[in-house]
Amino acid sequence: MDFKVKGEEGKARVGELKLKRGTIHTPAFMPVGTAATVKGMLPENVRSLGADIILCNTYHLMLRPGESIIKQLGGLHKFMNWPRPILTDSGGFQVMSLANLSKRFDNGVSFKSHIDGKEYFLSPEYSIQIQQALGSDIIMCFDECTSSEATEREVHKSMNRSMEWAFRSKTALDSSLGGTLFGIQQGGVFHEYREESAKKLMDIDFMGYAIGGLAVGEPQDIMFDVLDHSTKFFPKDKPRYLMGVGKPGDIVGAVLRGVDMFDCVLPSRSGRTGQALTRRGAVNIRNARHANDPRPLDQDCSCPTCQKYSRAYLHHVCKIGEIISAILLTWHNLHYYQELMGDIRSAIYNSELDDFAKQFFRIQKEGDIPLI
């Protein structure tokens, strides 16, 4: 792995992360292909939108079809026909979110599958083993994520456990099998624990650093406050990844605070539920106001959805539950996210990010275009 910062404006950076299977232009948004597919999209279509890397989910792939089958069939890239870089999360967040189906121990987590109730045990060592069997390009440490309702004592205990698991994750990594390992900072909304976590991770020494445990229910201003404090502890020559974020406004705000990489299910999940994400904010295409509107979702958008289909058509196919509705809205949403990241990179290169951000939030606040 080779990461180079090509330009800066304030805390924001534009750069290139070079991996064996391709270069990632940062700040970057990673579409989420949970179970080896970005829902509603062919891999070549995802790439055509400008995505350099996608995220896949260790927890879901270990359950179905299983890492051994994927390895036997040539690895995750061949299995899903995506030749470019893949980041796999560790499975920690999904296991922790199972609540009544999981039990936490110092050496790992036992849980029952949400599919058939079968019992599993996931440890830092097994998580790394799975991710390397999949052939992941960026591997995430196994960590424990606390909810926004956790007490300070619970957050501190959990952070320390995550740091122990980070050390075990790095020890378990087989360098001969490839893969770049990222550490994950935890500590909830507590500044002192975020600092403690960052310093422990840097003592272990990783190729990149993720910020975990945010976007779990805390208000945006709290998340930004934590980011203001968190990113300053990480080395400037390593990429920074904010996990599970997010909304367009969250991404712009996080870039201003020095974050390089993002992922979120929002673009694809919103597309499947009739919501388009635009430069003017979210548009609920199921709303009756769109029933006879001949205009595109966004007249300035170059995606196939906006170039070829009207709001009225999208409203129609969404209301009657046609599959093409989810496809067209997902296509638009992912295009918008990649276009947003490209605009952010250009703004940083040209030292115009502050002006870009002000205009972005102003247009978002104005809302959707008025009725005809």
Tell me the chain's radius of gyration from C-alpha atoms. Answer: 20
Confirm if 65 and 75 have CB atoms less than 8 A apart: no
Question: Which range of residues forms the domain containing residue 59?
Answer: 2-264
Which residues in the chain come in under a pLDDT of 70?
99
Q: List residues with catalytic annotation.
A: 89, 263
CATH of the domain at 108: 3.20.20.105
Per-residue pLDDT at 99: 67
Q: Are residues 90 and 137 in the same domain?
A: yes
Q: Are residues 297 and 244 in the same domain?
A: no
Q: pLDDT over 90 for what percent of the chain?
A: 92
Confirm if 67 and 218 have CB atoms less than 8 A apart: no
- Residues of the chain by 3-state class (helix, strand, coil), percent to 5: 45, 20, 35
Q: Are residues 223 and 344 in the same domain?
A: no
Per-residue pLDDT at 335: 98
Q: Are residues 228 and 288 in the same domain?
A: no
- Residue-wise pLDDT for 257-305, tens only, equals 999 999 999 999 999 999 999 999 999 999 999 999 999 999 999 999 9
Q: Are residues 258 and 277 in the same domain?
A: no
Whether the pTM exceeds 0.85: the reply is: yes
Report how many domains make up the chain: 2
Confirm if 114 and 87 have CB atoms less than 8 A apart: no
Asked if residue 187 is part of any domain, the answer here is yes
